[in-house]
Structure 1
Amino acid sequence: MNIEITELTARLLAHRWLPRADTQVRRALVDEAFRLELETNLAAVGLQLLDNPFAEHVAVGLKDEVMDAVFGGRDYQASTMGLTRDEIALLIVIWALIILPKRERQLGRRQLGDDGQNDMFGQEKPIEHGDTVSGAISEASLLADFGAQLGGRTKIRNFALGKLARLGFIVRSNGYLHEGPLLDVLLDYRVLADRIINGTLADVLAAAGRALPAGMGEDEEELFDELDDEVEARR
């Protein structure tokens, strides 16, 4: 067996996620034979590689066919990483405030603070990841805007945010919340974006003075369709 495949499989199982910039991860993303062998290794233990071209990390998750065997007969929290309903609602709000604006910048090939008007060749740039496109939100502002609806400020500050940070969804630093390695990988943008932008949460965010970008455009649909085709071809 390829020693690199063994090492990468072990590292993914041990860490749960790895950055796209990692040498072995980069190879898995561009070398079809290498990735197929990696996915075969993961599938042997009921796992799959989670790869979103807009995310800075890749991760591993359960395959659909073993979900019932792992979570069947367990309570609600067993299949939600131990998160309560209030904590999941908080996670969705954070996701909307960080990932939706980030995706708009990525598709516009813009960085933070860049309106794109002075870049004639912006669309020819590769999609960027990390701090250049992923903004932070103020913890105090989040608590002020949504604390009452999501279980109370004390509960959110002392328990919920800490749990989301331990799970890898967010990073807390100097009073700000930043994107964690799993925020843009485990939450399905194709499912959530339209429901948030055109749903009740959009009204809640608007009432708090939080603007949301438009829905998924053709460019984004094409990128996700290409990824879906690649995944299907490997099966």
Structure 2
Amino acid sequence: MEHDITTLTARLLAHRWLPRTDAQVKRALVDETFRHELEHRLAQVGLTLLDNPFAAHVAVGLKEDMLDAVFGGRDYQASTMGLTRDEIALLIVIWALIILPKRERQLGRRQRDDDGQNDMFGQEKPITHGEEVSGAISEASLLADFGSQLGGKTKVRNFALGKLARLGFIERRNNMIHEGPLLDVLLDYRVLADRIVNGTLADVLAAAGHSVPSLDEETEEDEPADSSAPDHTEDA
């Protein structure tokens, strides 16, 4: 066990995130003793394991009591992974367009091509991850709808989307934007979903022709808090 914990800790620090399907990650998620020792190792260097049961990956982030020590006294971008306000706004728009519909499918135990009408036992299925439930959005559509509001189409296409991809929030494939390893891990669904659905961004998305799923508190499942979520997301 000692070797596996050391290896997994090193891999998490080196790669920043790992898929839930990874053998050592699976062990950390089901073996309480193994998980406790892993979290202890990470805590010794001010880090914590970020595990959202709806996300396809796990990651490491700063412990809450380390945020001031690491970011205190630094400028705005230091606590937001170097993202500007326009780039954070773009990130939140992408999160809303990909994660909100994805979560609705996950809670309903449905896949992207399934309306749930023919499955009497859907709620008994395990939560699905990956592209079976996580859709993609067109870069051209995103630029047409929001480019002018977020610094200009050229800036968004050539700089902002590239930065979000390098940070692991999104993946760009064939002019489509897909969920990246950190999109559903670092941003706290419990905080953002309510602000988006009941806030101004919902009207902005609706005006651009994008539907925003309603929140169903009766079917909502508990999710762990994300201590390293980018700050100032309300500025989006």
Cα root mean square deviation, aligned: 1.0
What letter corresponds to residue 183 of structure 1 in structure 2?
L
Q: Report the 3-state secondary structure (helix = DSSP H, G, I; strand = E; otherwise coil) of the residue aligned with 1:50.
A: strand
Could you tell which deviates more after superposition, 117-126 or 79-88?
117-126
Structure 1 partner of 2:204: 204
Structure 2 partner of 1:156: 156
Structure 1: runs of 5+ lacking an equivalent? 229-235
What letter corresponds to residue 27 of structure 1 in structure 2?
R
Structure 1 partner of 2:191: 191
What letter corresponds to residue 11 of structure 2 in structure 1?
R
| Alpha-carbon distance, 1:215 to partner | 1.2
Regions of 4+ moved over 6 Å: none
Q: Return the alpha-carbon distance in structure 2 between the equivalents of residues 209 and 217 of structure 1.
A: 25
| Superposition map of 1:35-114 within 5 A | 35-114=35-114
| Alpha-carbon distance, 1:113 to partner | 1.4
Identity of aligned residues (%): 80
Q: Report the 3-state secondary structure (helix = DSSP H, G, I; strand = E; otherwise coil) of the residue aligned with 1:219.
A: coil
For the Cα contact (< 8 Å) 1:193–1:216, is it kept in 2? no
Aligned residue pairs total 225
| Alpha-carbon distance, 1:219 to partner | 2.6
Q: Deviations over 1:169-221 (max 9, x none)?
A: 00000000000000000000000000000000000000000001111422324
Q: Return the alpha-carbon distance in structure 2 between the equivalents of residues 218 and 185 of structure 1.
A: 23
Q: Deviations over 1:90-125 (max 9, x none)?
A: 000000000000000000100011101011111110
What letter corresponds to residue 86 of structure 2 in structure 1?
D
Q: Report the 3-state secondary structure (helix = DSSP H, G, I; strand = E; otherwise coil) of the residue aligned with 1:220.
A: coil
What letter corresponds to residue 11 of structure 1 in structure 2?
R
Greater RCO (Cα-Cα under 8 Å, separation 6 or more) = 2
Q: Return the alpha-carbon distance in structure 1 between the equivalents of residues 213 and 203 of structure 2.
A: 13
**What is the TM-score of this pair, normalised by structure 1?**
0.94
Could you tell which deviates more after superposition, 209-218 or 105-114?
209-218
Q: Return the alpha-carbon distance in structure 1 between the equivalents of residues 216 and 37 of structure 2.
A: 33
| Alpha-carbon distance, 1:73 to partner | 1.1
Structure 1 partner of 2:142: 142
What letter corresponds to residue 14 of structure 2 in structure 1?
A
For the Cα contact (< 8 Å) 1:106–1:133, is it kept in 2? yes
| Alpha-carbon distance, 1:77 to partner | 0.2
| Superposition map of 1:25-44 within 5 A | 25-44=25-44
For the Cα contact (< 8 Å) 1:19–1:57, is it kept in 2? yes
Q: Return the alpha-carbon distance in structure 1 between the equivalents of residues 150 and 216 of structure 2.
A: 27
| Superposition map of 1:164-179 within 5 A | 164-179=164-179
| Superposition map of 1:128-139 within 5 A | 128-139=128-139
